[in-house]
Amino acid sequence: MMEENKRVLLGMSGGTDSSVAAMRLLEAGYEVTGVTFRFYELNESTEYLEDARNLAERLGIRHITYDAREVFNKQILEYFVHEYLAGHTPVPCTLCNNRLKWPLLARIADEMGIFYIATGHYVQKVKLEDTYYITHAVDPDKDQSFFLWGLKQDILSRILLPMGGITKVEARAWAAERGFQKVATKKDSIGVCFCPMDYRNFLKNWLVSNGQTLV
């Protein structure tokens, strides 16, 4: 069992929330290392990688990238397509967080000797007796507790959730007050990362690229 330390591995997407999370963790006295996962690149855009790298450089923290596109395709995209075609309602973001993103953060942190893991999710956790639980964020409009409901105790005991106690408006103000105007004014991501607006075109394209057709 790794000894608790003041080091934290933060998942950095390049967006407002994880960027502000990095600032809040630093100001709380943690040694932050940022990791940006390459899960899916909409329209092959890698701007998010540059945004995360540039922010890390400006904050003076170490930053790494991790290419998880193959496993994301296998575990999340295939699941989404197969569930939808079976007439079910897929929940890809919940599956990704519980089965891929957080376990991957923990594994990389273990390899680097880092105890804590964190993201920019708007979620809080509580400890009752000897058990940790996920609970809602302060901001009801941004609450993401549903996506983390399946995390196990070995993960929950190590996670830091610096965004759970503030609102999105406060997060933007936090960045602006510190001179990070681009971070403060970034647009919110909407919907699922691989099909934010229209899942039908995604399904058609995925099936064609995999030599299948809609029945």
Check which CATH number belongs to the domain holding 31 and give it: 3.40.50.620
Phi, then psi, of 207 in degrees rounded to 5: -65, -40
pTM of the prediction? 0.94
Phi, then psi, of 187 in degrees rounded to 5: -75, 150
pLDDT along the chain (215 residues), means of 10: 86 95 97 97 90 96 97 95 92 95 97 97 96 96 94 96 97 96 89 83 86 65
Catalytic residue, chosen from 23, 159, 193, 195, is: 193
- Tokens at 93, concatenated: 């973001």
Catalytic residue, chosen from 81, 96, 123, 159, is: 96
Q: What is the pLDDT of residue 144?
A: 95
Are 164 and 122 a contacting pair, CB within 8 Å? yes
Nearest residue to 102 via CA among 173, 159, 21: 159
Q: What is the pLDDT of residue 63?
A: 98
Q: Residue 190: what residue type?
A: I
Q: What is the pLDDT of residue 213?
A: 65
For residue 167, give its domain range: 7-120+158-209
193 is known as an active-site residue: yes
Query: How many whole angstroms separate alpha carbon 205 and alpha carbon 155?
Result: 35
Q: What is the pLDDT of residue 142?
A: 95
Whether residue 163 lies inside any domain: the answer is yes
Whether residue 51 lies inside any domain: the answer is yes
Q: What is the pLDDT of residue 214?
A: 59
Q: What is the pLDDT of residue 5?
A: 87
Per the structure, the count of domains in the chain is: 1
Residue in the block written with tokens 């998010």: 48
Q: What is the pLDDT of residue 3?
A: 75
Whether residue 12 lies inside any domain: the answer is yes
pLDDT per residue over 91-115, tens digit each?
A: 999 999 999 999 999 999 999 999 9
Whether residue 195 lies inside any domain: the answer is yes
Are 72 and 100 a contacting pair, CB within 8 Å? yes
Query: How many whole angstroms separate alpha carbon 183 and alpha carbon 185?
Result: 6
Q: What is the pLDDT of residue 1?
A: 64
Q: What is the pLDDT of residue 14?
A: 92
195 is known as an active-site residue: no
Residue in the block written with tokens 């970034």: 186
Whether residue 149 lies inside any domain: the answer is no
